[in-house]
Structure 1
């Protein structure tokens, strides 16, 4: 038996067989979206099937028996899944407590609900060479399983690469015996006809080149003739049964020019539709249909390759959209309005999704654009936007393709997405060639949000976080908690995907000037799975407007990175409406002090070899824009300070609209408008002097301009730049072929206060920013207690100086004493606000319904020597008070009399917490290890 061998070629084009599966499950999943609760860590229990619609399956893989080779083919019937390929045995899932390896010669039947083998045993063999099963499909009445590939016998019954199996008895049908002389790669079946695609040139002496049809009962050859010049890899019937869709490597069908795809008459094979827009170096690996359209999976190799998916109409067979992701699509499966596909997609730049980089083995997208198709790009309508379904896999063994085939099966009212291929990992866990995902049982919680908080005006705090990632939920619910409270202050919904996790934000307008706050955030998916609490994000509200950042915001920055973040890899966007955060690469040094501007807290440090920050989502840049940043360096290797590029962590292939430093310390601002256009500072205008400098670059209707430290350093009459979708980069990206290119693409030094505007700032605005950077601004000092204790009337001789908690109560008195080293006011500044920050303990009833007063201590005391009997004298004028502190461990702030605290600046000062009621307050002491829990004196200083 002659077998046509397809030579292996480079990735992009991944040769191999085509699998056929049963389709037709139409029942929609009943999805439940239930609002999440308010308690920290609360796990809600809505229907377990809850994932973000229209995705129908979780990304949590279920235990499944696994073969020792490659799965090429899959079909399902009556709750049983059939898998065929090239293997000799199946074994239990990794870590399974029972079961031993079983023989399975190129075929296994498995229970859809348990993932375990059934009693149906079939052995596909051949006398010469290696047998393989490349295609499986089930008859419409679910009684017959058709198998194809390269084999000569099934359970010893002689066949020729195609066989019919009686599903009820699990035996080959002797009455069905077509004679295919070469590998068959795909099957499709109607009521009375079995269609086949493959490498053959004839059937039983009659010419049938790569496509043929036989009687579904006997295997007798039918008149259908659709001769192609190269292998057939895919075949599918239209839902009305009138046409057959052909896919493969071919360039002609029945003499008509049509590459990789054609539509023919289901009875005669006469050509009804040809195609010429699939590149010659690409092929169709799979075709699938639903009620309104059909879809192709494509792969190729070389320049201009097409590796993605096409959606076409069934009415006229014309293309409706084309998804041009790169990465060898092997299989497409439309189900309930979603097109699931298996591939190793690594570059979806042309679709506005992820750039070239990590491989994504599973994708899901709507079968149609829901709100009208977008305008064509390069002559093609983009594919529908990707959905949040992200199981992970790997290339695996064999040809290193990963997943190859998919099927949906149902049992006991649960739907299962089965996947076969040559992978050896699923979601990071060892699992070979078979896996499955269910419509119920979403158990994976979202990743923990990374949070930042900032305030530049009295009365408002902007809480920002990098949205979380959840493998099967793109819409997540976020809860914001303040000062350690157990009840959220606000709830926000936001969308995110694995490769696109933009910033979400919320503004707290209930804060008070001069007070400090902390914020934490959780993420909850549609099934109620909740992440851990984020790390604490602290912030102090200024007593007056901070002039520099407020002006940047007022001037319309849509990206504003201040680099005050406390956690990697998130760089928060402090603009008013931009929400374009940054993703830190290779762990830049955070919170470098001092920052560039008066009142700005910290900068970011970059090593000049690998560290950078890129924006979190793809965007385009308009005809007018401004780039602004501060920098400090002594480098002699140059590097990019800020710029735009079409990739994230890899070198961009398109890159301009950037400011970079030469080896000698000169600054250059460049755009590409058919050639490089660059403004460079003068020969002696160098800025690698280890001082902070302000650089601004603008482009708009007036052309290009470069400003350094408020001064215009040059202009060019260039109003255009390279138009493409990309990402902002700070600290590094490609600089190849740019004038005076430095030794390094990466900048070594400190960066602060980076902003991007959608307009060209005027010279007056630039000068104003530079001047405001040195204008007086509020500063905040937080002082920890150096000593604290409390006294207990019930134990009048006991000292509590080493206790981890402190108490306040009027009747049966407790009093708490705190000592702070109060700093003097900075030169030219005065105290504008003062507050005491305390945190209730975790014990039940730690809060109080009474009013707690803060009063000065006039007598002497020490933590070790103070008891009820030796308590110090208290002053008469209260510094401040707080009423009704609720139970639950949380941070609380007591506003203090500014004049009274001003009078004791520069001294060691003691204060007491007292009450007249009977309900005790318990707070953490300076000796406590509780996070954000120890007493703090918060002082805000500002210009006179």
Structure 2
């Protein structure tokens, strides 16, 4: 990396610029497109928006990139045409045989056109790197000719004329996958075992005049990444290998730039045998790996290492193979298909996310979440990143297998810039609570913005244009905490409506739909008792929007999945209340907060059903967006309508009601566990209990209502999901007493 800006040096997708020029540009690189002002809506240190810019597309996979100082981005891969933005495959295409060059600022093709072909088989361009003087573009891959000029898997292109250099001919025996270039040397890595007729296993070096150098870093498996350290003294190697020059070092090694001798090896286990290094990048003080694993016990994340010692600074443990890494202004951007970052305190296993950002000093994910799909090929989404500057702006280019970007059709290529930020936050979801006298509690689920974690919320009452309250809150896509403001400037019997907007500082969402409530003159007795008994989560299901507001003090709102039926009446409890209806196949609610194992707890809810397929009613599980892999502390209904309360304590431990409760009437269900064991109450009375089991399975998880895994549990019902109505769900950090349970049930008609 260049020590001034942290930009990538020449290599796969690397760029270089003179230090003096970069110093002058440093303050301008975050300028927004209009007026030269910074992109205000971004959360530092992120300096790129998540808004994708219009960019031409390919009809295949982009494997390699390099950005030039002249604002040109060169791309290579396995494709045959390019087409305009929004053009469907097969329309408005122009030939581009495994190579295309684009204007970094406009996303349109330049007039540099080359064709990389092979007489037999499929040609591909897997590596691109510019010389320090930008006069030569080196190309590696699997090909036998460039626009009719015979070559052997590596070529040099004169950038001024966009023609192959006839004086650079090197025979490489197999695919070249990685390149890094100095003023006099080209380092290459790949599948090959010979270069220029001499043995070179997976890594080699040639002069810029095409002469093989004595430099040797022979490896036993494929070389996938080559990167120079900023001082030029060492070469960083990445790939599948287990030895370099006979010395044990799996997937990563540091070698001398002059001789190839191993300077730093990495022992077995530093990167698991099941994982490889797919890409490398550097900045002034560190280098960073992109890792991919296969099978069990893999490492798929990123590692940051210090250049001073070549030792680890940090690593993340997200699952979902990382393919590309790039540093810009202190942020490590990566392309992967991350789907589970729970082990590092981030999002649990769920649909893949393909573009992430982290500080070079800390693996915590930063609020930058543009996205692609997996696409074609393997498929894994993004494969490569590059960056370039033009007209005072900075551009991050991404290539790969994807066919959509931010939900819209876009194949093979996309790009992002330092401004303008045009994406508004999501419209907030709002819920009102009037369980206490003389006030209205305005609850809302924090919104989400793809490139800002701190949002400003404005609350508008009764259609006014001036907000009655303004506040801020942090959120990311998997953690959208519930926020609350209590309006006490109201009187009993008055009806008021509320709307909320979310702003990132530059863009503001539409106001939420108006939600109204009548101010109570006295506290509602049932919810007042639930709250008085210490409910840490309390979902009443009176919300009109797509979340379950928490009336309790924990503010642990629920994510409502797959559009259950809302506002059903009559509800379980008298008063201005409604219930939620679940279809028994895929609808459920999960808590926003991830909780440690509760050693003692109570779960309480009301159910109404006639199902003969059973299903989980309420429980604790390790996942949110799919069935959990760890699951207990739950109440489920058997096919015959009887209720089961179960925990795992060594094995599954259950108690079961003697009576069925699928008769179409509302029933009050409470399950408790504490020092006295397990108890299951129905309609205010103890129905089943045991003093034998006071423990449950230890794992962090989420409270879920309406469905989750039940594999391995006694009398497993036909369905994991509950078909029926649910109301008034509460969770307590204590085991409720029998008198508390009966008191709750007695208040069902109290209003």
Alignment deviations for residues 205-240 of structure 1 (CA, whole Å, 9 cap, x no partner): 32210011222x223222221111111111112223
**Contact 2:137-2:158 within 8 A present in 1 as well:** yes
Matches within 5 A, 1:310-325: 310-325=303-318
Q: Return the alpha-carbon distance in structure 2 between the equivalents of residues 202 and 177 of structure 1.
A: 14
Q: Return the alpha-carbon distance in structure 2 between the equivalents of residues 769 and 151 of structure 1.
A: 76
Deviation at 1:454, TM superposition (A): 0.8
Q: Return the alpha-carbon distance in structure 1 between the equivalents of residues 249 and 58 of structure 2.
A: 38
Q: Return the alpha-carbon distance in structure 2 between the equivalents of residues 362 and 345 of structure 1.
A: 8
Alignment deviations for residues 747-781 of structure 1 (CA, whole Å, 9 cap, x no partner): 2222111111233334443333333334x34xxxx
2:277 aligned with 1:301: no
**Contact 1:561-1:571 within 8 A present in 2 as well:** yes
Matches within 5 A, 1:484-563: 484-527=463-506, 529-563=507-541
Distance change (3 Å), C-alpha of 1:131 and 1:625: same
2:280 aligned with 1:287: yes
Matches within 5 A, 1:732-751: 732-751=707-726
Residue 134 (structure 1) aligns with: 126
**Contact 1:623-1:720 within 8 A present in 2 as well:** yes
Distance change (3 Å), C-alpha of 1:716 and 1:234: farther
Find 1:237's aligned residue among 228, 244, 248: 228
Find 2:333's aligned residue among 329, 340, 352: 340
Distance change (3 Å), C-alpha of 1:92 and 1:637: closer
Find 1:61's aligned residue among 49, 52, 65: 52
Distance change (3 Å), C-alpha of 1:68 and 1:635: closer
Residue 697 (structure 2) aligns with: 722
Q: SS of the residue aligned with 1:772? A: helix
Alignment deviations for residues 253-298 of structure 1 (CA, whole Å, 9 cap, x no partner): 2222222222222222222222322332322111112223222212
2:576 aligned with 1:583: no
Deviation at 1:688, TM superposition (A): 3.0
Q: Which runs of 5+ in 2 are unaligned?
A: 1-10
TM-score normalised by structure 1 residue count: 0.73
Residue 89 (structure 1) aligns with: 81
**Contact 2:30-2:418 within 8 A present in 1 as well:** no
Q: Return the alpha-carbon distance in structure 2 between the equivalents of residues 496 and 722 of structure 1.
A: 29
Q: SS of the residue aligned with 2:466? A: coil
Distance change (3 Å), C-alpha of 1:602 and 1:314: same
Q: Return the alpha-carbon distance in structure 2 between the equivalents of residues 305 and 112 of structure 1.
A: 36
Matches within 5 A, 1:601-750: 601-681=577-657, 683=658, 685-712=659-686, 713-750=688-725
Deviation at 1:100, TM superposition (A): 6.2
2:176 aligned with 1:180: no
Q: SS of the residue aligned with 2:745? A: helix
**Contact 1:595-1:752 within 8 A present in 2 as well:** yes
Would you say how many aligned residue pairs link Structure 1 and Structure 2? 727
**Contact 1:596-1:692 within 8 A present in 2 as well:** yes
Q: SS of the residue aligned with 1:695? A: strand
**Contact 2:56-2:107 within 8 A present in 1 as well:** yes
Q: Return the alpha-carbon distance in structure 2 between the equivalents of residues 267 and 286 of structure 1.
A: 22
Q: Which segment drifts farther, 628-637 or 417-426?
A: 628-637
Residue 353 (structure 1) aligns with: 346
Find 1:275's aligned residue among 261, 267, 275: 267
Q: SS of the residue aligned with 1:330? A: strand
2:729 aligned with 1:758: no
Q: Return the alpha-carbon distance in structure 1 between the equivalents of residues 376 and 717 of structure 2.
A: 43
Q: Return the alpha-carbon distance in structure 2 between the equivalents of residues 595 and 465 of structure 1.
A: 22
Find 1:449's aligned residue among 428, 432, 437: 428
**Contact 2:442-2:486 within 8 A present in 1 as well:** yes
**Contact 1:679-1:716 within 8 A present in 2 as well:** no
Deviation at 1:573, TM superposition (A): 0.9
Deviation at 1:617, TM superposition (A): 4.2
Deviation at 1:503, TM superposition (A): 2.3
Q: Which segment drifts farther, 712-721 or 206-215?
A: 712-721
Q: Return the alpha-carbon distance in structure 1 between the equivalents of residues 223 and 27 of structure 2.
A: 33
Q: Which segment drifts farther, 654-663 or 119-128?
A: 119-128
Q: Which runs of 5+ in 1 are unaligned?
A: 1-17, 34-43, 370-383, 778-944
Distance change (3 Å), C-alpha of 1:30 and 1:549: farther
Q: Return the alpha-carbon distance in structure 1 between the equivalents of residues 115 and 445 of structure 2.
A: 52
Q: SS of the residue aligned with 1:456? A: coil
Matches within 5 A, 1:103-252: 103-215=95-207, 217-252=208-243
Distance change (3 Å), C-alpha of 1:613 and 1:100: closer
Q: Which segment drifts farther, 173-182 or 653-662?
A: 173-182
Distance change (3 Å), C-alpha of 1:688 and 1:66: closer
Residue 593 (structure 1) aligns with: 569
Deviation at 1:446, TM superposition (A): 1.9
Q: Return the alpha-carbon distance in structure 2 between the equivalents of residues 734 and 708 of structure 1.
A: 23
**Contact 2:55-2:108 within 8 A present in 1 as well:** yes
Matches within 5 A, 1:898-913: none
Deviation at 1:572, TM superposition (A): 0.9
Distance change (3 Å), C-alpha of 1:106 and 1:743: closer
**Contact 2:235-2:257 within 8 A present in 1 as well:** yes
Residue 6 (structure 2) aligns with: none
Q: Pairwise CA RMSD of aligned residues? A: 2.6
2:234 aligned with 1:257: no
Deviation at 1:93, TM superposition (A): 2.3
Q: SS of the residue aligned with 2:526? A: helix
Distance change (3 Å), C-alpha of 1:704 and 1:455: same
2:337 aligned with 1:363: no
Distance change (3 Å), C-alpha of 1:31 and 1:195: closer
Distance change (3 Å), C-alpha of 1:29 and 1:718: farther
**Contact 1:667-1:686 within 8 A present in 2 as well:** yes
Deviation at 1:518, TM superposition (A): 1.0
Find 1:70's aligned residue among 38, 51, 61: 61
Q: Return the alpha-carbon distance in structure 2 between the equivalents of residues 600 and 767 of structure 1.
A: 22
Deviation at 1:702, TM superposition (A): 4.2
Q: SS of the residue aligned with 1:765? A: helix
Q: Return the alpha-carbon distance in structure 1 between the equivalents of residues 747 and 213 of structure 2.
A: 85
TM-score normalised by structure 2 residue count: 0.91
Q: Return the alpha-carbon distance in structure 2 between the equivalents of residues 245 and 635 of structure 1.
A: 62
Q: SS of the residue aligned with 2:531? A: helix
Deviation at 1:642, TM superposition (A): 0.5
Deviation at 1:525, TM superposition (A): 1.9
Deviation at 1:30, TM superposition (A): 6.8
**Contact 2:290-2:325 within 8 A present in 1 as well:** yes
Deviation at 1:468, TM superposition (A): 2.3
Distance change (3 Å), C-alpha of 1:623 and 1:317: farther
Alignment deviations for residues 417-470 of structure 1 (CA, whole Å, 9 cap, x no partner): 111122222223332212211111222222222211111112322111222232
Deviation at 1:113, TM superposition (A): 0.9
